[in-house]
Structure 1
Amino acid sequence: MEIPILDFSLYESPESRTLLADQVVHTLETVGFLYLKNHGVPAEQIDKADGAAVKYFDQETSVKKQFSRPSVMTENPGSGYCEIGIERLYQSGVKEVKETFDFIPSDLPEGKAESATVLIEPLTNLFNSCAELARKLFHCIALGLKLANERYLEDKHKGMGNRNVNSTTLRVLHYPPFDSAQYGETATRLGEHTDWCSMAILFQRDVGGLEVETAGNKFVPAPPIPGTVLVNIGDILQFWTCGRLRATTHRVRAVDSEQNTKVRRSIGFFANPDFDAVVESLDPRYYFHPEPTGEYTLNRFRNAYHYQERQDFGFMKPQRVSE
């Protein structure tokens, strides 16, 4: 399986936009991941955010913890730092050797954000550009799905950037040099998982390790390709389309001795619907009880932060409509 590279400049012309929309939907039906070139996010913004991440993660852990991510047991997801070992996805007994900084522009508590000052301006600019790209991609998907309202998905994500109504997050990930002797034989950089958002947009730097699962249950590399971003959908958009679009399992491994000695950095934009956005079947052949996404998203965050096994949250069970 090869992950295709699509040319997003086709979006700018109404004549070619339909072609792009069909390409996007077909790829998300069959592969679940795609690269975009000419995506419109300025390279300068990406470079500045990455440079700021180098400076930020070089600080002592005690400094970074001054602005820790709020507990999802008592609050909505928000901005802040998460150290190695706090978060884990799906795999029992596996330690994920990564630290993160999550960013929502409206969530910068006074007295806590000083340790992340270097990140604030570059992440704000990048967040806004990613939100604009996400809106265009949602438009493409609606066009490719032939929805009667081509702005349907955009309308469900109006609150991106406002923590009070939406949990869309720009996440900076820092994977330190990997030492299995230090972290244990079962450690990895990022465990096998699907994203639980609507859509993810990923900026990779020089060091690879990301792998995507094929329909034949094999993992293939999804390496950094200069000038592109990597896009995939998450569980919510899979639910929305009753499985027509694929939320594809992926992971990040330290795959060889040379790569293990290097820091891996990436920045991911995870677009979520507004908390009160009601998700109902977009496929007339299926029905599920319409549900707001807020509680589902919060439960998935709680699952990752409290070492639970992957759970069936009973969310959106499509049933085929009788002929």
Structure 2
Amino acid sequence: MTAVTEIPVVDLSPYGLGVVNEDTVDPSTIRSLADDICGAFKDIGFCYIKNHGIQQSLIDQMKAVSRTFFEKPVEYKTNFTRPETANHGWVAVERESLNPERPGDYKEAFNYNPCEDTKNWPDVENFEATMKEFYSSSQDLALRIFDLVSIGLDVGDNKFMRNCHALIGQKGNSTAVRSLYYPPLPPDKDIKPNQVRCGEHSDYGSLTLLFQDDVGGLEVRNLHGEYIPASPIPGTVLINIGDLMQRWTADRLIATKHRVLIPEEELRRQKSRQSVAFFIQPDDEVMIECLDKSDKYRPISSYDYLLERFAATY
């Protein structure tokens, strides 16, 4: 197979959030979109989508309130630390190591999952409201994409994937939004050997929506093991599948490893980087069994799989 050297761009306008009633869309148009998205997930695991329908003003606001929080002193942010038993709150620099063979990642984050005890919010203006609105819009977009994945996989029910994620934003589903911040690296900062901003990893769940800033740095590994840039494209969302979806499809779709290295150029090292990820999980009780009935992977519940992955990361 020829390795993909560029991540494809899919125009979602026929089925994006700008379409009020998705049931009125021509089936042949939907089929074409479904084939494009599943084809990208098969070849490289990623694609950009444009004309998706999430307002740019909301994306900008999300990054702005996040930056205000991240630029506050560590002593302040510590008050909102993510507890070990939940997935809401701040994650400090170097707290995670997505590639266990490397030192802790040089990044920090704030996680939000409506199912958790989310009373502990920073008193940054519009922080909580923006996070919740962003979660809701991302959820709406994800469900549209799941329809396309169901069609592209020919599972026999165009709403199969949507129905397996019916509890997003409610008890019984672990989907979370994560605002990520990569601090600038001052000239006198000592970087540990092999340390990176975000270690090589594939995502845990079924689907990820990634909203990048204009700084860049993300790299995606193609099927020949070569890392290619996932450079920001204005107006797009970068989407990819996670390990759970690869498992579910018995490797028909590929969860691709990706990373963010520490830039070699001094000017880029001194510049911060932001992104926002919507990490989507099927409902907790959904049993992930190979859709082709091959039993290539043992059945496991969505929630148990997530717990296994969290244990390896923290």
TM-score by shorter chain over 0.5: yes
Match of 1:223 in 2: 231
Deviations 1:152-180 (A, max 9, x none): 11111112123x41211100000011358
- Change in CA separation of 1:42 and 1:103 when aligned onto 2, cut-off 3 Å: same
Given the alignment, which residue of 5, 12, 26 partners 1:8?
12
AA partner of residue 153 (structure 2):
L
d(CA) in 1 for partners of 2:67, 2:122: 16
Indicate conservation of the 8 Å contact 1:205/1:266, yes or no.
yes
- Partner in structure 2 of residue 310 of structure 1: none
Match in the other structure for 2:176:
169
The amino acid of 2:269's aligned partner reads: N
The equivalent position to 1:135 in structure 2, one of 129, 143, 148, is 143
TM-score by length of 2: 0.91
Q: CA deviation at 1:286?
A: 4.8
Partner residue in 2 for 1:275:
284
Residue aligning to 1:185:
193
Q: Does 1:69 align with 2:82?
A: yes
Quote how far apart the aligned CAs of 1:22 are.
0.8
Matched, 1:22 2:22: no
Tell me, yes or no, if structure 1 residue 98 matches structure 2 residue 107: yes
Note if contact 2:87-2:113 (Cα within 8 Å) is conserved in structure 1.
Answer: yes
Q: Which runs of 5+ in 2 are unaligned?
A: 20-24
SS in 1 for 2:190: helix
What is the distance in 2 between the residues matched to 1:282 and 1:169? 25
Q: Counterpart amino acid of 2:69?
A: Y
> Which residue does 1:319 correspond to in 2?
none
Partner of 2:90: 81
Question: Structure 1 regions of 5+ residues with no counterpart?
Answer: 306-323
- 1:115 and 1:63, CA in 2 relative to 1: closer, same or farther beyond 3 A? farther
Task: Give the SS at the match of 1:184.
Answer: coil
1:252 Cα shift?
Answer: 0.5
Aligned positions, number = 299
Q: Determine helix, strand or coil for the equivalent of 1:147.
A: coil
Runs of 4+ in 1 over 6 A off after TM superposition: none
Mapped pair 1:233 → 2:245 = no
The one-letter code of the counterpart of 1:177 is P
The alpha-carbon distance between structure 1 residues 149 and 83, as it changes in their structure 2 partners (threshold 3 A), is same
Aligned partner of 1:41 in structure 2 is: 54
Tell me how far apart the structure 1 counterparts of residues 115 and 295 of structure 2 sit (CA, whole Å).
Answer: 37
| 1:96 positional shift | 0.8
For the Cα contact (< 8 Å) 1:55–1:118, is it kept in 2? no
Distance 1:271 1:157 in 2: 8
Q: Distance in 1 between matches of 2:137 and 2:146?
A: 14
Q: Is the 8 A contact 1:37 1:227 kept in 2?
A: yes
Relative to structure 1, the CA distance from residue 181 to residue 56 in structure 2 (aligned partners, 3 Å threshold; closer, same or farther) is closer
Counterparts in 2 of 1:239-254, with a 5 A limit? 239-254=247-262
Q: Please give the secondary structure, in 1, of the residue aligned with 2:208.
A: strand
2:310 matched to which residue of 1? Answer: 301
3-state SS in 1 of match to 2:205: coil
Identity of aligned residues (%): 34
Residues 280 and 288, structure 1, Cα contact 8 Å, conserved in 2: yes
Cα offset, 1:43, TM superposition: 0.8
Q: Call closer, same or farther: CA 1:276–1:258 in 2, change over 3 Å.
A: same
Shift of 1:214: 1.1
Alignment CA distance shift 1:293-1:58 (3 Å): same
* Bigger shift: residues 277-286 or 236-245: 277-286
Q: Which amino acid aligns with 1:207?
A: V
RMSD value, Cα: 1.7
Counterpart CA distance in 1 for 2:102 and 2:228 is 24
Aligned match of 1:55: 68
Specify the SS of the correspondent of 1:9.
coil
Describe the superposition over 1:232-274 as per-residue Cα deviations: whole angstroms up to 9, x where unpaired.
0000000000000000010001233221110000000000011
* 1:105 shift after superposition: 2.8
**For 2:190 and 2:114, how far apart are their aligned partners in 1?**
36
Secondary structure in 1 matching 2:209: strand
